A and B are shown apart, each in its own frame.
Chain A
Amino acid sequence: MTPELSFRAGLKDVLPTVFGYIGVGLAFGIVANTSHLSLLMVAGLSFIVYAGSAQFIIASMLVAHDPLSAIMLSTFLVNSRMILMSTSLAQAFRHESLTKNLLIGSLVTDETFALAMNKRNRTEGHLSFAWQSAANVVAYLVWGVATILGAVLGSFIQNPTQFGFDFALTAMFIGLVYLQLISDKHLGLTRQLLVMIFVALIYYISLRFTSANLALLIATILGCFFGMELKKCH
């Protein structure tokens, strides 16, 4: 990765993440196919909602016939990390017009956010609209095409759980949490590990008394307060 911030440099920098989008995108398409979602629904979710992990959750909630309000609330909770990512990323684009800010914001993902944070380490904190747009648009198109391809291939695979594709989502979160753990120098390894143990404990306890989605929210919020308290102790 060079310090160059052109559109072309963005195309080059986003390449490694493309493989991740293809892997998880294919997996989503196959899962959507087994959940009996039509190609149009897969395309709608990928191109309009465009939210990797939330799409898996939406698919499973559709199968469970959950109400619209619950599906929207879960989507918000799963995507609430986008608020933080966007808030962090936006600091680098304050000087750009509101339109450009909205264009960049509308396609922020875990991967393009992580990529941008990585790039900033090489450009003295600068990012450009051209560079970020290149990364965003490539990620967006690859994700959409991969999910549709997965849905088409899925109809040729009789029993996809047999091939372990249903584990892709949990595997993705394991990968993301590990990469977060080793790359967030600001929070530090020990503090993050303590927060992780705390969150797992709260999640386990909450799960006895409430739904998995509410347990997720309770564990996340209490985990953040726990992290803030840990920070005060140092």
Chain B
Amino acid sequence: MSLTLFELWVILGCGVVTLLSRTLPFVFVKRLQLPAGVIDFLTFVPITIMTALCCQGLFIAHAGHWATIDWANLYAAIPATLAGILTKSLLAVVVVGIMAMAVIRYFNWG
């Protein structure tokens, strides 16, 4: 149970970055009104960043070549998505996804 100096810097550095991302908007909103264009841009951030993060899990990068599909992840994504549609529960999506991946690994699919 120990921390390297590098790990300590990672915790502090990422902690500050995250804290500022969370709190500075509260300071700005309390003090001034954001321009309409900025607010308009920001409304698309959740859907775009979450889609890009999903893609990160579904594609395998190959520098200088076209990315390929991570078939195991794509197969597991199907029951996970169905669980979301049926239950609208984040927990169900995660649990079904993990279980599906366990089955896929067991049978060596993908």
* B19-46 with Cβ < 8 A to chain A: 19, 21-30, 34, 39-46
Question: Are B47 and A164 in contact, with the CB atoms below 8 A?
Answer: no
**How many residues does chain B have at the interface if contact means C-beta atoms less than 8 Å apart?**
79
Question: Are B49 and A220 in contact, with the CB atoms below 8 A?
Answer: yes
Chain A nearest CB: distance from B43 CB in Å? 7
Question: Are B84 and A175 in contact, with the CB atoms below 8 A?
Answer: yes
Determine the distance from Cα of A71 to Cα of B99 in the docked complex, in whole angstroms: 30
Instruction: Report the contact-size class of chain A (Cβ under 8 Å from the partner).
Output: 35 or more
Question: Are A203 and B52 in contact, with the CB atoms below 8 A?
Answer: yes
Determine the distance from Cα of A204 to Cα of B105 in the docked complex, in whole angstroms: 26
Which of A23, A105, A167 is in CB contact (< 8 Å) with B76?
Answer: A167
Per DSSP, chain B at the interface is: helix
Residue numbers in B under 8 Å from A75 (CB-CB): 13-14, 17-18
Determine the distance from Cα of A53 to Cα of B95 in the docked complex, in whole angstroms: 16
Residue numbers in A under 8 Å from B92 (CB-CB): 175
| Stretch from A6-14, A76-84, A122-130, A139-147 that touches the partner | A76-84
Which of B1, B14, B81, B102 is in CB contact (< 8 Å) with A38?
Answer: B1
Question: Are B13 and A68 in contact, with the CB atoms below 8 A?
Answer: yes
Which of B6, B44, B94, B97 is in CB contact (< 8 Å) with A195?
Answer: B44
Question: Are B48 and A83 in contact, with the CB atoms below 8 A?
Answer: no
Residue numbers in A under 8 Å from B29 (CB-CB): 86-87, 90-91, 94
Which of B18, B59, B95 is in CB contact (< 8 Å) with A203?
Answer: B59
**Interface 1/0 per residue, B60-88 and A, CB below 8 Å:** 01001111000001001100110011001
Chain A nearest CB: distance from B86 CB in Å? 11
Question: Are A173 and B53 in contact, with the CB atoms below 8 A?
Answer: yes
Question: Are B52 and A20 in contact, with the CB atoms below 8 A?
Answer: no
**Interface 1/0 per residue, A217-234 and B, CB below 8 Å:** 001110111011001000
Known: A79-B17, A106-B22, A171-B76. A98 touches B30 (CB 8 A): yes
Which of A17, A20, A51 is in CB contact (< 8 Å) with B94?
Answer: A20
Determine the distance from Cα of A150 to Cα of B44 in the docked complex, in whole angstroms: 34
Which of A49, A162, A203 is in CB contact (< 8 Å) with B11?
Answer: A49
Chain B: residues with CB nearer than 8 A to chain A?
1-3, 6-15, 17-19, 21-30, 34, 39-59, 61, 64-67, 73, 76-77, 80-81, 84-85, 88-106
Chain A: residues with CB nearer than 8 A to chain B?
16-17, 19-20, 23-24, 27, 37-41, 44-45, 48-51, 53-54, 58, 62, 68, 71-72, 75-76, 78-87, 89-91, 93-94, 98, 101-102, 104-108, 111, 161-182, 184, 186-187, 192, 195-196, 199-200, 203-204, 207-208, 211-212, 215-216, 219-221, 223-225, 227-228, 231
7 A-B pairs with CB atoms under 8 Å apart are A23-B91, A86-B22, A163-B102, A170-B73, A172-B90, A203-B55, A219-B52
